[in-house]
Structure 1
Amino acid sequence: MNWLQQSNYSHELHNVTTADGYQLQLQRLPRVGARPVLLLHGLLGSALSWLCLGAEKSLGFQLHRRHYDVWLANLRGSAPHGRHHLELTDVMLEFWRYSFHEHGAYDLPAIIDHIVEHTKRGSGSAEQLPQQELETQQILLIGHSQAFNAFLVLCALQPRYQQHIALMQALAPLTQLHEQVRFDARQVRNIMKFVKTRQKAKRFELFPVGEMRRMCNKKREQCEFYAKTLAGSALNNKKLLEIFNYDYLLQGGSARELQHLQQLWKSGDFIAYDYGPIENLQVYQSIEAMGYNLSHITVPIILYFGETDAIATPEGVHSIYARMLNSVRSVRRIGARKFNHFDFLIASEVKTLVNDKLIELMEQFLAGKLSYVIE
């Protein structure tokens, strides 16, 4: 990866194949024997989300300097490292039939299995290792935005994977959305109209690399509105559209991802993808979409929110806490008067406002000294 080579960081490329045939590439900043940390990107992202501000500010590099074994995931659909399949190509409709459900049901199990296999010590399987060694091998998970949804899907559908995760730190998490976001029904309809227009034109990928920048050059005023409302960067208002110039930050995704999030917003619950009554009967044995059972999630969780995040609002993040009282160990507000959704990745002060804080709390947790604080 050019970014890693330019920063003079040694790295490894790891290939993973999911149970449904997607071929994903992971990047690793290796420290053999150290605690593994897995970084999960959100909608439209890729592994580059954690590297794009360079060696001094980006979380991936910062964790490696703190002597963690850093793994960077590329979930299906992210360009170019999540664009391969055993049978499909990315010009086929079938390739793009996924949302965060498939990220959690297929991508995460394959990625975690691979990391566990490459980091276990001694002989024998992970199940045969002493408890203390198992705990040392457990993955520290950090995810942005809908990466938290994928984590919840994994834990709900395959709870055995929880034994491999020591802690989940969720930056700007979102689940239910209904009456918890700072945009209205008209704006949602406009976004979904845009999605449906693309699908009718057989364009199933959402914002291929470079497309957002080209669109914003033509419709600057509209882009400025959505950038200010939905994304940020709140700390860089003079360069509000800069986010859309990050070709390495916006790496594409599936239109179904937005459709699934719209269904969460409409239903007011955390549900699987709704195919409609007839197909739901085939998939879920019910005319309604399946609800995820979150009651058995045991992985400790820390939630982070920004004061002016329009998507993962303070109200929305606190509703996650209220629903997952047994798992959430802390809820933390980013210490800036304005802090929006993508600021967790690209804000000029991201190192001091976000990265230093989550590393500090992570290490307090590992030392058994994490305070129960709800902000």
Structure 2
Amino acid sequence: MDLRLCLFCLFCILLFHISTCSDDPDLNRSAVELIESRGFIAQVHTVTTEDNYQLTVHRIVNPLCSKGEPVLLQHGLLSSSVDFLINSPGVGNNLGFVLSSLCYDVWLSNSRGNVYSMDHLHLSSNDENFWKFSFDEMSKYDLPAFINYILKTTGYKKLSYIGFSQGTTQMFGLLSTNTSYSSIIKPFIALAPVTTISYTKSALVRVASDTPMLKDYLRSKGGPFVISDSTFQFIARTFCHSKIDLVCLNIIFLITGYDVREMNQTRLQVYFKHTPAGTSNWAIAHYLQMVKSGRFCKMDFGKEGNLARYGQTFPPDYPIDMIDSQDIALFYGLGDWLADRKDVELLKSRLKVPLKDDYAIPVDNWNHIDFIYAKDLGKYVNTRIVNILNEYWLR
């Protein structure tokens, strides 16, 4: 029964992803089109990583502003730069547009393997080797490439970083292994921070992590975590006009936590048309590994694989206690089933530095995806982010 529920959940996400029933103009807009539809200028930059991936960064240019301070927004797992552009119509609660309206220089990065970052200097995305990455590589290669490129382009010596979910995992990995970035990232605002998933309340996530066949397949099979376009289209034709939307939404809440009040159900088709946006099997496997291990560590390839990769039979931990930045702000939800309050407390206990901000959203059921989709995102999250940024940039 539990496995069937997992499959149904994935089915629902796919349903939303390809449905064409909505007449909302944002439904089929790309990141560039979303930016331009709000009156901003969109720039598309290509960043090449040390290991030869070519990644896309979208830049929002406000034609009414002169040079602004750089802010990098990093999306979560299975998502893209669009995370920060689709909460609501207009500028609304969309963090990217809010910051650009305030004359910040907003950059939106796309991790390797999503729809905007599918290129490599030597590998095709049809090559299994293209997909042999998890957040380890995103932390080691993608983030430094994004940061260094933005600093070089803008002439600034520092930038502000706002990460959601996997975007926080990547930055905690980078700051713990390369402390030189502590003087560059000011501040690091972590939305729904994830370094462990030990206390997740999601039965679906726990079932997946307790399924050895699934984990072994994801780990051993290099490739994209996707289902074919023909499957998408079949689901769209069959179920587009059904009443299944609310059922699917409740299944999704079984992963992220329940918060019907904050979900703008009139934009569900927009949200799930743009998500999932792609990642690798390894990326999924790495997070499932974290559920069981209780550790923030590199990907586990088994004893022999670990010995070959790391020189030891188990994957090394990320040394969170070595982070020396005092410019970290944590934002977390009390109803978040993925970044559970207890996991956040565990993260805080491992950090040996004072936090810039320790903010539990004052809404009982605030869940994981509320940090992107909530109707009250502006009130509870964006306003506080703006205040922190203004303080750092002496505005």
Give your verdict on TM over 0.5. Answer: yes
* Aligned position for 1:257: 283
**Matched position secondary structure for 1:205:** coil
**1:68 aligned to 80, 104, 110, which one?**
104
Residue 93 of structure 2 aligns with an amino acid whose one-letter code is K
- Where structure 1 has 5 or more consecutive residues not aligned to the other structure, the ranges are 122-136, 369-375
**Matched position secondary structure for 1:188:** helix
* RMSD (CA atoms): 3.1
CA contact (8 A) 2:208 2:288 kept: yes
Q: Whole-Å Cα distance in 1 between the matches of residues 186 and 137 of structure 2?
A: 22
Q: 1:360 to 1:350 in 2, by over 3 A?
A: same
- Structure 1 residue 2, shift from structure 2 partner: 1.2
TM, length-normalised to structure 1: 0.84
**Matched position secondary structure for 2:78:** coil
Q: 1:73 to 1:192 in 2, by over 3 A?
A: farther
Q: 1:283 to 1:146 in 2, by over 3 A?
A: same
With 353-362 and 19-28 compared, the bigger mean Cα shift is at 353-362
Structure with more contact order per residue of length (Cα contacts < 8 Å, sep ≥ 6): 2
CA contact (8 A) 2:113 2:224 kept: no
- Structure 1 residue 172, shift from structure 2 partner: 0.4
* Aligned position for 2:25: none
Q: Whole-Å Cα distance in 2 between the matches of residues 246 and 329 of structure 1?
A: 33
**1:304 aligned to 307, 331, 343, which one?**
331
Question: How many equivalent residue pairs?
Answer: 351
Residue 139 of structure 1 aligns with an amino acid whose one-letter code is L
Q: Whole-Å Cα distance in 2 between the matches of residues 191 and 222 of structure 1?
A: 25
Q: 1:45 to 1:5 in 2, by over 3 A?
A: same
Q: 1:95 to 1:4 in 2, by over 3 A?
A: same
Q: What aligned pairs does 1:196-207 form with structure 2 within 5 A after superposition?
A: 204-206=224-226
Matched, 1:151 2:171: yes
Q: Whole-Å Cα distance in 2 between the matches of residues 34 and 351 of structure 1?
A: 21
CA contact (8 A) 2:193 2:344 kept: yes
Q: 1:29 to 1:181 in 2, by over 3 A?
A: same
Q: Whole-Å Cα distance in 1 between the matches of residues 96 and 267 of structure 2?
A: 24
Q: Whole-Å Cα distance in 2 between the matches of residues 243 and 154 of structure 1?
A: 34
**Matched position secondary structure for 2:34:** helix
**1:235 aligned to 261, 267, 270, which one?**
261
* Aligned position for 1:175: 195
User: Could you report, residue by residue, the CA deviation over 1:260-280 in whole angstroms, capped at 9, with x for unpaired residues?
Assistant: 111112111110001111111
**Matched position secondary structure for 2:261:** helix
CA contact (8 A) 2:221 2:281 kept: no
* Aligned position for 1:48: 82
Q: 1:236 to 1:118 in 2, by over 3 A?
A: same
Q: 1:243 to 1:271 in 2, by over 3 A?
A: farther
TM, length-normalised to structure 2: 0.80
* Aligned position for 1:337: 364
User: Could you report, residue by residue, the CA deviation over 1:203-223 in whole angstroms, capped at 9, with x for unpaired residues?
Assistant: 632467897894995987984
Q: 1:229 to 1:310 in 2, by over 3 A?
A: same
* Aligned position for 2:55: 24
- Structure 1 residue 150, shift from structure 2 partner: 0.6
